[in-house]
Chains A and B, each alone.
Chain A
Amino acid sequence: MSLELAVAAGVTAGTVLLFAAIGELFAERAGVINLGVQGMMFVGALVGFRVGLQTGDAWVGILLAMLAGGALALLHGIVSIHLQADQIVSGLALTFLGTGVALVLGEGLASAGSGALLPVYSVPLLSDIPILGPAFFTNQSVLVYVGYLLVPIASFWIFHTRPGLHLRAVGEQPAAADALGINVYRVRYAYVIAGGALAGLAGATQSLAVVPGWHADKTFIAQGWIAVALVIFGQWKPGRTMIGAYLVAFISRLALDLQAPRDIFGLENPFFYYQPSTFFLNMLPFGLVILVLIVAAREANRKRIGAPAALGLPYVRGERGR
């Protein structure tokens, strides 16, 4: 299996991580931490696949998957923004809930094949660039290209627009935003729901483009959690988050690919000849995420960059006796 194909496969799988991570990035920039991403991805995968199957149109599936993700995120929003419950716990509950609901509603779909398909494109000139071309611009699902566009758009939105300014203010100092007439609740709801919709999109990407079909509890292992870690690694900036997403996906892919061939560069492949050792390869992606977090933490300590200051804290206007 060539390196370029491995990178290309990494990019495809990385798009799932990318969507979920950018969604979480938006929510966290507004000050709300959403740990229900994994559950929303499951629901998105199910809805995307099932609706796509039943209507024959994958795009309808994607749309409804985003709606479903957004709806779950709305629940999280109500509980953590309005009812001011602990955001971490609420997110966890949603992961249990979303996963459970998806498994229940997905009964019997495992045998339904690969469902409605999405178009796959190669970009004419760009795909001829050596190395980068075959990896990024050849035979990739349309959703991958959406991913490429999402990152600069997200960056522009956050740092160079008025609504982005409001977003940053709400996440750092909601009291200041509130005093100036910005509706902190509304902003938080908007971005939490957007984050959920993107998580739903990520799920649909998985079941419609990356590994088409419904695979019950094997649809995702850790992607939702990895997405949360990626936001930290990316220091809440879309560009860096994207790099992390593709990197982790690529390494995961590599771990898989290293198990198949009899030789690697002429040397006997230990993972082929001794099957149980492949489990160590399987550990790689998770170890990488831990490493990524360590790197991010050390950088944050040095450069004094951190999460949005109000992350995880419910906003209550005019708390008496400050």
Chain B
Amino acid sequence: MTDTHALDATRAAPSAPLAVGMRDIVKRFPGVLANDAVDFELRRGEVHALLGENGAGKSTLMNVLAGLYRPDAGTIEVDGREVEFQSPRDAIAAGLGMVHQHFTLVPSLTVTENILLGLREPRFRLALGRYEARVGALAEETGLAVDPRVRVWQLSVGEQQRVEILKMLYRGATILVMDEPTAVLAPQETEELFRTLRSMTERGNSVVFISHKLDEVLAIADRITVMRRGKVTAAGVEAAGMTKRELARLMVGREVLESLEKVAREPGPAILELDGVGAISDRGLRALTDVRLQVHSGEILGLAGVAGNGQSELAEVITGLRPCSGHISVNGKEVANRPVIEVIEAGVAHVPEDRTGTGSAPNLSLTDNLIMKSYRTRPIGRGWTIDRVVARHRAEELKEAYEVSAPSVDTEARLLSGGNLQRLILAREISSGPGLMVAVQPTRGLDVGAIETVHRLLLAQRADGTAILLISEDLDEILSIADRVAVIYEGRVSQPIPATQADVAELGLLMTGVTPSGAVPGDDGGPRTSGAAA
């Protein structure tokens, strides 16, 4: 990545007035103190990164700034004036624009309609023509190309993000807060975004960049504030002087750069085979085209790709949740278009990407959640009835073995934290002794400790001989635990290559649809842009 620090050293001088000053901010939620007397300062014209693990309190802090939450204590100043935001509208009026991690766009409305939402102009009549022109002009000017007349559900994720930014700029935002913006972008798109952010600061705007990715933070930020468990561990330190190691320590309290034991293995026979698989998405568009894939016993096949390229649909056709064309077989048994129960009985375990929406029943107990796959057979299922004593006993065993932290097995699943819920789901899926496991975004939203646990469990399954299809947006994750790597882009899957031979730059190209001219990995003759370690 291009190094821009040298160019900006003079711009964000300490003597410039503060764009934002937050002091002693306290915010509580039931059961957790999200912000514990936090101070945060943003200077005019700088890119300031807010770094921390998931759950550290960064999003909460910025949500307070954006007017979504009212702080329980503390003050906020914008451009030197103390402000109290009663609602997001006040924050926007003060020049603060927040682009959330989960986009707040209305899918069925057009780009222009989304941008106009909440504004006082037009007064009454919605004469879109004029505004579409305005939006188009703004898009040109800022280099955020998007068609103002298109309905949002038709846009790619990257384009939707541009609409979100345009939304804020249209309202005259001079302070932009971006919450984990690169989670949904390929490396090249991330570069583009960074260029956009730079040009914005050149025009005098200020940017807060929330992230948990050390590489990116070091690449884009002028200064960094690190948070851990609701407190600030490093306030506004210059990025130029920091190393990844040190940031990691500030984030986590110990030096953690993951290094897990991965024993090289000879993969066994192919357990999962896909041939010529095609599928249609919920919107009626083609999601998968001619997918050919094999996953062997005892190996982890990592499928990298930016969200929205068919990953969900792929997981669904394998696990029986979506119809498809072509052939899918598990251990030789055809499972394409079979009822879900048959796929389960063929030995397929599924760790879904949506923990709360698909993977668990929020108001049922841990026990009830744990028997979701095993209630039909002995010893828990007996004939028509369920042996509750046995079920409870088994649940207690699993809870302990997988370290699910909760008051008891009768606790309702919705009370579990993300990490614990994922442990619960893994406990359930692994204990069914599957031959194939499909894990989709298994570590999304988890803190470093939980991520480590998940990876450990997956590697243990691999050692046991399970075939694992790991679908993830996190390239680092895939490169650290997968044996072979493939990329999915617009419903097509590339030829898998051994992880040891994988090159991030090339994978990045594949993730954005560019096929390298040469077939040999690592020898494409193109610009070398790697995820450089500091």
A304 and B88 contacting across the interface, CB-CB below 8 Å: no
Residues of B within 8 A of A309 (CB): 107-108
| Interface residue ranges of B116-158 to A (CB < 8 Å) | 116-119, 122-126
- On whether the beta carbons of B68 and A181 are closer than 8 Å, the reply is no
Stretch of A84-92, A159-167, A272-280 on the interface side? A159-167
Query: Of A162, A181, A322, which one neighbours B123 at CB under 8 angstroms?
Result: A162
Give bound CA distance, A321 to B69, whole Å: 14
Task: Return B345 CB to nearest CB of chain A, in Å.
Answer: 30
Task: State the Cβ distance, B313 to closest chain A Cβ, in Å.
Answer: 16
What size tier do the contact residues of chain B reach?
Answer: 35 or more
B92 CB within 8 Å of chain A: yes
A304 near B283: Cβ-Cβ < 8 Å? yes
Q: Report the Cα distance A321→B362, complex, angstroms.
A: 13
Cross-chain contact B118 with A177 (CB below 8 angstroms): yes
Closest CB-CB distance, A173 to chain B, in whole Å? 4
With both chains docked as a complex, state the minimum distance between the C-beta of A269 and any C-beta of chain B, in angstroms.
Answer: 50
Which single member of B32, B116, B123 contacts A165 (CB below 8 Å)? Answer: B116
Interface residues of B in 289-318 (CB under 8 A from A): none
Main secondary structure of the interface of B (DSSP, over half): loop
B107–A181 contact, CB under 8 A? Answer: no
A173 adjacent to B105 (CB under 8 Å)? yes
* CB-nearest residue of chain A to B171: A180
What B residues does A178 contact at CB under 8 A?
A: 68, 88, 104
Question: Is A108 located at the chain interface by the 8 A CB criterion?
Answer: no
Looking at the assembled complex, report how far the CB atom of B202 sits from the nearest CB atom of chain A, in whole angstroms. 27
Q: Is A260 an interface residue (CB 8 A)?
A: no
Query: Does A318 belong to the interface (CB within 8 Å)?
Result: yes
Contact with B along A296-322 (1 / 0, CB 8 A): 000000001000010000000110111
Please tell me which one of the listed residues B30, B89, B126, B282 contacts residue A162 in the complex, with CB atoms under 8 A apart: B126
Distance (whole angstroms) from the CB of B530 to the closest CB of chain A = 33
Given the interface contacts A180-B92, A181-B118, does A169 sit within 8 Å of B284 by beta carbon?
no
Query: B411 at the A/B interface (Cβ < 8 Å)?
Result: no
* Contact of A179 with B126 at beta-carbon distance under 8 Å, contacts A304-B283, A304-B284, A318-B69 already known: no
B122–A175 contact, CB under 8 A?
Answer: no
Q: Is the CB–CB distance between B68 and A318 below 8 Å?
A: yes
Q: State A160–B129 Cα separation when bound (angstroms).
A: 12
Known A161-B124, A162-B126; judge A322-B102 contact (CB<8 A): yes
- Min CB gap B462→A, angstroms: 30
Q: Which B residues are CB-close (under 8 A) to A163? A: 124
Instruction: Specify which chain B residues have a CB less than 8 angstroms from the CB of A166 in the assembled complex.
Output: 117-118
- Verify if A168 is at the interface (C-beta below 8 Å from B): yes
Pair A168/B109 contact, Cβ less than 8 Å: yes
B126 in complex: contacting residue of A164, A169, A181, A317, CB < 8 Å: A164
B87, A183: Cβ atoms closer than 8 Å: yes
Q: Could you mark each residue 508-531 of chain B with 1 if its beta carbon is under 8 Å from any beta carbon of chain A, else 0?
A: 000000000000000000000000
* B residues less than 8 Å from A160 (CB atoms): 125-126
Beta-carbon contact of A173 and B107 below 8 Å:
yes
User: Quick check: is B63 within 8 A (CB to CB) of the other chain?
Assistant: yes
B515 to chain A, nearest CB (A): 33
Assembled-state Cα–Cα distance A161/B116 (Å): 11
Distance in Å from the Cβ of A290 to the closest Cβ of chain B?
28
B176 on the interface (CB 8 Å rule)? Answer: no
- Chain B's closest residue to A173 (CB) is B106
Docked pose: A173 CA to B418 CA in angstroms: 24
Cα–Cα distance between A51 and B283 once the two chains are bound (Å): 52
Question: Among B30, B68, B106, B417, which residue has its beta carbon within 8 angstroms of that of A172?
Answer: B106
B98 at the interface (CB under 8 A from A): yes
Bound Cα distance from A165 to B123, whole angstroms: 12
Chain B residues numbered 8-44 whose CB sits less than 8 Å from any CB in chain A? 29-30, 32
Q: Is B100 part of the contact surface with A, judged by Cβ < 8 Å?
A: yes
* Residues of chain A in range 164-208 having any CB-CB distance to chain B below 8 Å: 164-166, 168-169, 172-173, 175-183
Mask, B37-61, CB within 8 Å of A = 1, is 0000000000000000000000000
Q: Which residues of A contact B102 (CB under 8 A)?
A: 175, 322
Enumerate chain B residues within 8 angstroms of A172, measured Cβ to Cβ. Answer: 106-109
Residues of B within 8 A of A176 (CB): 103-106, 114, 117
The interface bits of chain B over 65-108 (1 if a CB of A lies within 8 angstroms of the residue's CB, else 0) are: 01011000000000000000001111010000010101111111
CA distance A177 to B68 in the complex (A): 12
Residues of chain A within 8 A (CB-CB) of B105 are: 173, 176
A165 pairs with B117, CB closer than 8 A: yes
Q: Which residue of A lies closest to B282 (CB)?
A: A304
Is B113 in the interface zone, CB < 8 Å from A?
yes
Q: How far is the CB of A249 from chain B (nearest CB, A)?
A: 31
Minimal beta-carbon separation of A260 from chain B (angstroms): 48
Q: A163 vs B116: C-alpha distance in the bound complex, in angstroms?
A: 11
A9 to chain B, nearest CB (A): 38
User: In the complex, what distance in Å separates the CA atom of A176 from the CA atom of B118?
Assistant: 10
Q: Which residues of B contact A177 (CB under 8 A)?
A: 106, 117-118
* CB <8 Å contact, A165 and B109: yes
Interface-centre pick from B66, B90, B117, B123 (highest chain A CB count, 10 A): B117
Q: List 22 A-B contacts (CB under 8 A).
A: A162-B123, A164-B126, A165-B113, A165-B116, A165-B126, A169-B109, A173-B104, A173-B107, A176-B106, A177-B106, A177-B117, A179-B66, A179-B68, A179-B88, A180-B89, A180-B117, A181-B89, A181-B90, A181-B92, A317-B68, A318-B68, A322-B102
Given contacts A165-B113, A180-B92, A181-B89, 16 further A-B pairs with CB under 8 A are: A165-B109, A169-B117, A172-B107, A172-B108, A176-B114, A178-B104, A179-B68, A179-B100, A179-B104, A180-B89, A180-B167, A181-B87, A181-B90, A318-B69, A320-B29, A321-B418
A-B complex: 3 closest residue pairs judged by Cβ atoms? A181-B89, A180-B118, A176-B104
